Amino acid sequence: MSKISIFVGTVYGNAQHVAEDVSSMLATKNIDSELFSDPSIDDFKQASSVLVISSTTGQGDVPPNLEFFIQDLRDAAESMDNKPFAVAALGDSSYGDSFCGAGVQIFDLFTELQGKPVAELLEVDACETLEPEVEIVAWVEKIAEDLLG
C-alpha cells in the first residue's frame, strides 16, 4: 500500500507537532504515513512520496536533526527520478532574507535532484499565525492525492 513519508526538521518541536497533526488527518482519510525525524538516505530512497515539514534555524539553516541527512543527499546527488514531493516551511519573516531558508534549500535541492514537486513551497510565517498546523493540515489535505501519485 502506498504511503506518504514525512520528514520533519525541528528545533523546538513546532514542526513535529504539525507533522503529527498532518499524520492524524491522513489517517482519517485512510492514507498511511510515517514520520522521520532522524532519517537515513535509505529511508528517503524507499519513500514513494516525500513530504518535508521543516522549520528554519540560525540564518536560513536546516535544523540540526536534518542537517547531515540533507548534506548526504546533496553529496550523493542521486536522481529522485520524478519522485513526488512537497515541502512546508515554518519560519518567521522577522528573519528577513533568511525567511523559511531551510524550506527553500530543501525544495531547491529536490528540484535539482529531479523530484516532482506537486505544489509550490508552502511558507508559514510565525508572525502571522500561532497555529501553523491549521494552514499546513489544510494544504496537505489538498495535495495528498497528488503526492500519492
Ligand X SMILES: Cc1cc2nc3c(=O)[nH]c(=O)nc-3n(C[C@H](O)[C@H](O)[C@H](O)COP(=O)(O)O)c2cc1C
Q: Which residues bind ligand X (CB under 6 A)?
A: 10-15, 55-60, 63, 90-92, 95, 98-101, 126
**Rounded-to-integer distance, Cα 38 and Cα 35, Å:** 9
Q: Minimum Å distance from CB 21 to ligand X?
A: 13
What cell was used for 3? Answer: 504511503
Q: Which residue is nearest to ligand X (CB)?
A: 91
CB 60, CB 108: distance < 8 Å: no
Pick the closer one to ligand X by CB: 116 or 135. 135
3 state SS for 96-113: HHHCCHHHHHHHHHHHHC
> What CA–CA distance (Å, rounded) separates 53 from 88?
5
Q: Indicate the residue among 9 and 84 with the shorter CB distance to ligand X.
A: 9
CB of 145 to ligand X, least distance (A): 26
Cell of 82: 520524478
Write down the least CB distance from residue 108 to ligand X, Å: 15
Shortest gap between Cβ of 3 and ligand X (angstroms)?
23
In the bound state with ligand X, the residue whose beta carbon lies nearer, of 24 and 114, is 24
Q: Which is nearer to ligand X, 19 or 47 (CB)?
A: 19
Residues 6+ positions from 14 with CB-CB distance below 8 Å: 55, 90, 132
